[in-house]
């Protein structure tokens, strides 16, 4: 195809642009190689084995920089995998995979999307497929225009995992089976641009094991129970790899996943530190959160050392909770990269205490190098949780009678709403979600209830 034809086609394609998407002209697909007959979206692959035939659209140099996703939709599901690939002149590719039985899939475009060379369709064996549409979408996952605030990650919702180890994935149910402790399942997102978003939201049917989320090798958040993990991504402009790990064999059913802008009325979610990342000096013994100090004092210590500086600017405090009260004093230190040692944050928990909140230094909390702790004498320290929290935002306080237009109190401890209610503890942990919430079995205290754009605080 000559440059004039390429320019003409680029103009023709540009004429179909809408605010959210651009449709690819299927009539431009022709036989790329192998035994395939192409008539627009009607592609008949005959005598094919081991991916040895393809239908191709040569673009030469198309600029797709205005879009985020490549989406393929079939008129009817195929009995084989269907793969759509886009190749870039700078190298690399975007792959969209439809598993058998699926009719729609999407994948994020790579950073080289301003210079696309070609797109082509492949199948592994003989098949007759009917493509309804191939589109470019401004949403990260080619999501619905009805709710632009919730951008669906295509590889999580529509695609097959392509990173991790010792797991299986059911494309029809989005069930991920982890085949042992610390196995991982994830996706290579190819440098996905997430600069417009504040947090990553993952919703599961039920979290039945310790579940940890890593972005480009760094643990970003975790949950031990519940249904959701919400991860602030402040300062992250792109994502190459997203991994989910569990601390034991289990099956997690993923309901929803997307990058989104933070609801300013919602508490910033707590972010936990992982006990498996603890290291020591002086011979401290670890068993999960149980830390055995044989001598204490300066000769022994336990620490979280961060090879990559941690930006904790979204948080105000590091909270330490113990399952048992130690008989000795526990000293915590937060070390900042660009601060004198005299400016590091230090706080002690007296013998017999089980919880303390350590305020972060506002001037230095964007560059945390390590957190370490020591004891005054030989002791066993049983950590329950160590996590970051932000202050609970200003909300309507309702003690006894509930002041809310969307949330209704239908019993002493039961609340209902037309939309799902998200229930948070005062430190920002989500503990329940649904259109009917029964608080009768929960610990006494202050809870934040969020429904739609309304947030209220209740004393239980």
**Alpha carbon 41 to its chain's center:** 34
**Between 236 and 262, residue with greater pLDDT:** 236
**326 occurs within a structural domain:** yes
The pLDDT tens digits for 376-414 are: 899 999 888 888 877 643 333 333 344 556 787 776 678
The pLDDT tens digits for 133-149 are: 898 877 544 444 443 33
Last residue of a domain, one of 236, 262, 288: 262
- The kind and range of the H/E element at 12 are helix 3-14
**152 occurs within a structural domain:** no
The pLDDT tens digits for 202-253 are: 888 888 888 988 888 877 878 878 888 888 887 788 888 889 999 899 999 8
**312 occurs within a structural domain:** yes
**356 occurs within a structural domain:** yes
| CA–CA distance, 305 with 369 (Å, rounded to integer) | 6
The verdict on 357 and 408 lying in the same domain is no
The verdict on 336 and 404 lying in the same domain is no
Give yes or no for residue 119 having a pLDDT over 80.
Answer: yes
**267 occurs within a structural domain:** no
Rounded to an integer, the average pLDDT of 84-105 is 85
The verdict on 37 and 129 lying in the same domain is yes
The verdict on 292 and 354 lying in the same domain is yes
The verdict on 57 and 77 lying in the same domain is yes
Residue 305 vs residues 217, 274, 338, 342: alpha-carbon distances, Å: 15, 11, 15, 19
The verdict on 352 and 420 lying in the same domain is no
Last residue of a domain, one of 342, 374, 389: 389
CA angle 160, 241, 153 (to 5 degrees): 55
The per-residue pLDDT for 3 is: 32
Give the CATH number of the domain where residue 297 resides: 2.60.120.430
The pLDDT tens digits for 44-71 are: 999 888 899 999 999 999 999 888 788 8
Cβ atoms within 10 Å, residue 283: 11
Overall number of domains in the chain: 4
Q: For the chain, what percent of residues have pLDDT higher than 90?
A: 27
**446 occurs within a structural domain:** yes
**174 occurs within a structural domain:** yes
Beta bridge partners of 326: none
The verdict on 382 and 404 lying in the same domain is no
Q: Decide the pairing of beta strands 355-359 and 317-322.
A: antiparallel
Give the CATH number of the domain where residue 171 resides: 2.60.120.260
The verdict on 447 and 381 lying in the same domain is no
The pLDDT tens digits for 425-440 are: 766 666 777 778 888 7
Parent domain of 280: 272-389
The verdict on 400 and 382 lying in the same domain is no
**101 occurs within a structural domain:** yes
Give the CATH number of the domain where residue 426 resides: 2.60.40
Query: Where do the H-state alpha helices sit in 296-338?
Result: none
The verdict on 365 and 405 lying in the same domain is no
The verdict on 315 and 429 lying in the same domain is no
The verdict on 9 and 113 lying in the same domain is yes
Last residue of a domain, one of 215, 243, 262: 262
Band (11; pLDDT cuts 50, 70, 90): very low
| CA–CA distance, 256 with 119 (Å, rounded to integer) | 29
Please give the model's pTM, rounded to 2 decimal places.
0.41
């Amino acid at each position: 195809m000559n440059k004039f034809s390429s320019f003409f086609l680029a103009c023709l394609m540009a004429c179909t642009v809408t605010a959210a998407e651009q449709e690819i002209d299927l009539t431009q697909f022709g036989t790329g190689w192998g035994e395939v007959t192409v008539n627009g979206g009607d592609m008949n692959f005959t005598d094919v084995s081991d991916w040895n035939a393809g239908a191709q659209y040569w673009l030469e140099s198309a600029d797709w920089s205005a879009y985020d996703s490549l989406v393929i939709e079939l008129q009817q599901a195929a009995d084989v995998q269907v793969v759509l690939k886009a190749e870039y002149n700078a190298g690399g590719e975007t792959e969209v995979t439809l598993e058998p039985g699926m009719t729609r899939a999407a994948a994020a475009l790579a950073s080289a999307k301003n210079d696309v060379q070609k797109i082509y369709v492949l199948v592994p064996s003989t098949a007759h497929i009917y493509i309804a549409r191939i589109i470019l979408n401004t949403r990260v996952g080619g999501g619905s225009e009805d709710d632009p605030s919730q951008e669906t990650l295509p590889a999580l919702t529509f695609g097959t995992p392509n990173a991790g180890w010792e797991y299986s994935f059911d494309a029809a149910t989005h069930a991920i089976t982890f085949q042992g402790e610390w196995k991982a399942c994830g996706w290579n997102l190819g440098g996905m641009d997430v600069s417009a978003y504040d947090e990553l939201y993952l919703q599961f049917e039920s979290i039945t094991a310790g579940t940890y989320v890593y972005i480009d090798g760094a643990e970003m958040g975790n949950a031990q129970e519940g249904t959701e993990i919400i991860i602030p991504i402040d300062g992250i402009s792109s994502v190459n790899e997203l991994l989910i790990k569990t601390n034991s064999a289990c099956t997690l059913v993923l309901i929803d996943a997307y990058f989104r802008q933070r609801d300013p009325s919602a508490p910033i979610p707590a972010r936990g530190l992982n006990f498996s990342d603890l290291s020591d000096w002086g011979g401290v013994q670890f068993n999960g959160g149980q830390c055995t100090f044989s001598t204490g004092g300066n000769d022994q210590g336990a620490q979280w050392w961060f090879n990559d500086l941690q930006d904790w600017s979204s948080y105000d405090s590091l909270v330490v909770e113990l399952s048992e009260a130690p008989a000795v004093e526990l000293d915590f230190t937060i070390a900042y990269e660009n601060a004198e040692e005299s400016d590091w944050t230090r706080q002690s928990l007296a013998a017999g205490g089980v919880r303390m909140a350590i305020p972060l230094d506002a001037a230095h909390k964007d560059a945390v190098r390590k957190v370490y702790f020591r004891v005054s004498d030989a002791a066993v320290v049983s950590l329950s949780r160590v996590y970051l929290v932000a202050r609970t935002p200003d909300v309507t306080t309702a003690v006894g009678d509930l002041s809310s237009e969307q949330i209704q109190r239908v019993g002493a401890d039961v609340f209902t709403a037309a939309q799902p209610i998200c229930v948070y503890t005062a430190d920002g942990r989500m503990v329940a979600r649904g259109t009917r919430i029964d608080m009768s079995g929960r610990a006494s205290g202050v809870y934040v209830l969020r429904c739609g754009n309304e947030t209220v605080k209740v004393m239980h």
